[in-house]
């Protein structure tokens, strides 16, 4: 888990803080290169999962591009040094300023999600005298078998263009002279561990690809998005997702035409397992029906358990006592500020250190200042001697 020198280093730090194991990140990137990039696939890292400059720099050096869903993320990708030719910009509600930023830098592609967005993008591109490359984000109506808050590929979701509207959109595109249709884009959800939804996605993508090309369009990009999950229960034994199986599934099931390339937008699977939230026990409370371990991290540092009912593994770093059942809770004045309920961990006391694991994705990026909570410095493994 964590060697003694790392735990000793943690003990001297002000908690709570995020810790990133760069060895795990680099090993993960090596697998992505081996099973994905080496096959000619384009992998864009989803900055919404983690936007720490040091993390992004390593990801860029590994050969990944950037997947952005805001103007701020586009600017961060540019600042880090990602090539504009490897930046894609998705999002159901892009503002004029955000679109103009993407146009200014001539990014690779706008993933467009509605007919009205196409009209606005065409107008703004015309004002800059540019032609914007676009991919149509299509809603394949695939059940992703994940939490309903992170399902994005159903007809009931706000994302993407429904199949019933596709022909009308295709009829309109030739009239939009400042747009160039280069591809189609999908994203069916997040934290998908069952491979069946990806197989269904491939079937839908193949069908829609044929339909669009039969309409006379020649598209070069098939972007299947991301959503590949990680193992939250066993991060030590499963620190790197099975990228061989993941990329192999698409290799076996996507029917690319000779002029087409396959693109992915991975986030959680790249960085999820390299990050932990390190927190300290403030108090313990023992009641008639519940025992509480009250820690100094809260939903302000990691909102996933409150928002998604996510269950992160909790490791006690400084106690070897017999196990006891606790609700591990934070200091925020909300009953939802709970990391785990009725979990068996070594008995803790004030001052013990706890690691909340698999927090490298959608952890630090979602931190808030609720209750005027201050953020402590991030720690990286290469800072520990």
CATH number at residue 115: 3.20.20.10
pLDDT in tens, the chain (385 residues): 788 899 999 999 999 999 999 999 999 999 999 999 999 999 999 999 999 999 999 999 999 999 999 999 999 999 999 999 999 999 999 999 999 999 999 999 999 999 999 999 999 999 999 999 999 999 887 765 544 444 443 445 556 898 888 999 999 999 999 999 999 999 998 899 999 999 999 999 999 999 999 999 999 999 999 999 999 999 999 999 999 999 999 999 999 999 999 999 999 999 999 999 999 999 999 988 899 999 999 999 999 999 999 999 999 999 889 999 999 999 999 999 999 999 999 999 999 999 999 999 999 999 999 999 999 999 999 999 7
Q: Residue 68: what pLDDT? A: 98
Task: For residue 214, give every residue at least 6 positions away whose Cβ sits within 8 Å of its Cβ, in sequence order, or none.
Answer: none
Q: Torsion angle of alpha carbons 106, 107, 111, 113, nearest 10°? A: -50
* Last residue within a domain, chosen from 270, 292, 325: 270
Q: Which of 247, 270, 293 corresponds to the end of one domain?
A: 270
Same domain, yes or no: 295 and 178 = no
Residues 223 and 98 placed together within one structural domain of the fold? yes
Is there a single domain that holds both residue 363 and residue 255? no
pLDDT of residue 144: 56
Structural domain tally of the chain? 2
* 56 and 163 belong to one structural domain: yes
Contact 278, 16 (CB under 8 A): yes
Q: Are residues 237 and 351 in the same domain?
A: no
- Residues 6 or more apart whose CB falls under 8 angstroms from that of 93 comprise none
Residue 147: the pLDDT is 43
| Domain stop point among 242, 270, 298 | 270
Could you tell me if 154 and 204 lie in one domain? yes
289 and 144 part of one domain: no
Same domain, 45 and 190: yes
Q: Cβ distance 44 to 224 under 8 Å? A: no
Q: What is the CATH number of the domain that holds 372?
A: 2.40.37.10
3-state secondary structure of 329: strand
From residue 172, give the alpha-carbon distance in Å to each of 38, 52, 256. 37, 40, 25
Are 374 and 315 in contact, with CB atoms under 8 Å apart? no
My answer on whether 194 and 73 are in the same domain is yes
Q: Round to whole Å and give the CA distance between 254 and 309.
A: 33
pLDDT at site 126: 98
278 beta partners: 17, 355
pLDDT of residue 158: 57
- State how far the Cα of 383 lies from the Cα of 49, in Å rounded to an integer: 23
Residue 150's pLDDT is: 40
168 and 34 inside one domain: yes
User: Based on the domain organization, do 257 and 280 belong to the same domain?
Assistant: no
Say yes or no: 44 and 101 in one domain.
Answer: yes
**Which positions ≥6 away from 377 have C-beta within 8 Å?**
14, 17
Boundaries of domain holding 121: 22-270
């Amino acid at each position: 888990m964590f060697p003694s020198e790392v735990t000793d280093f943690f003990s001297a730090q002000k908690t709570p803080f995020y810790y990133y194991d760069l060895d795990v990140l680099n090993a993960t990137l090596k697998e992505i290169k081996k099973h994905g990039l080496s096959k000619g696939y384009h992998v864009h890292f989803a900055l919404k999962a983690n936007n720490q400059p040091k993390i992004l720099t390593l990801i860029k050096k590994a050969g990944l591009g950037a997947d952005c869903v805001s103007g701020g993320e586009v600017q961060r990708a540019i600042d880090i040094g990602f090539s504009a030719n490897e930046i894609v910009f998705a999002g159901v509600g892009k503002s004029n300023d955000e679109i103009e930023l993407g146009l200014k830098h001539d990014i690779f592609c706008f993933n467009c999600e509605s007919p009205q967005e196409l009209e606005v993008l065409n107008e703004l591109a015309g004002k800059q005298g540019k032609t914007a490359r676009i991919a149509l984000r299509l809603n394949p109506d695939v059940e992703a078998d994940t939490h309903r808050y992170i399902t994005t590929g159903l007809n009931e979701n706000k994302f993407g263009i429904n199949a019933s509207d596709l022909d009308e959109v295709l009829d309109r595109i030739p009239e939009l002279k400042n747009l160039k249709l280069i591809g189609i884009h999908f994203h069916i959800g997040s934290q998908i561990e069952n491979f069946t939804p990806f197989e269904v996605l491939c079937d839908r993508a193949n069908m829609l690809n044929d339909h669009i090309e039969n309409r006379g369009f020649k598209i070069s990009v098939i972007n299947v998005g991301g959503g590949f999950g990680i193992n939250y229960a066993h991060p030590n034994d499963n620190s790197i997702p099975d990228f061989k199986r993941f990329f192999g599934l698409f290799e076996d099931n996507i029917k690319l035409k000779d002029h087409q390339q396959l693109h992915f937008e991975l986030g959680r699977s790249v960085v999820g397992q390299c990050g932990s939230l390190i927190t300290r026990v403030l108090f313990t409370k023992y009641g008639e029906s519940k025992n509480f371990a009250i820690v100094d991290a809260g939903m302000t540092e990691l909102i996933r358990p409150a928002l998604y009912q996510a269950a992160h593994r909790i490791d006690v770093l400084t106690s070897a006592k017999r196990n006891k059942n606790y609700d591990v809770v934070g200091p925020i004045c909300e009953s939802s500020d709970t990391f785990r309920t009725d979990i068996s961990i070594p008995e803790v006391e004030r001052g013990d250190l706890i690691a909340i694991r698999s927090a490298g994705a959608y952890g630090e990026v979602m931190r808030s200042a609720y209750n005027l909570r201050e953020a402590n410095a991030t720690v990286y493994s290469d800072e520990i001697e």
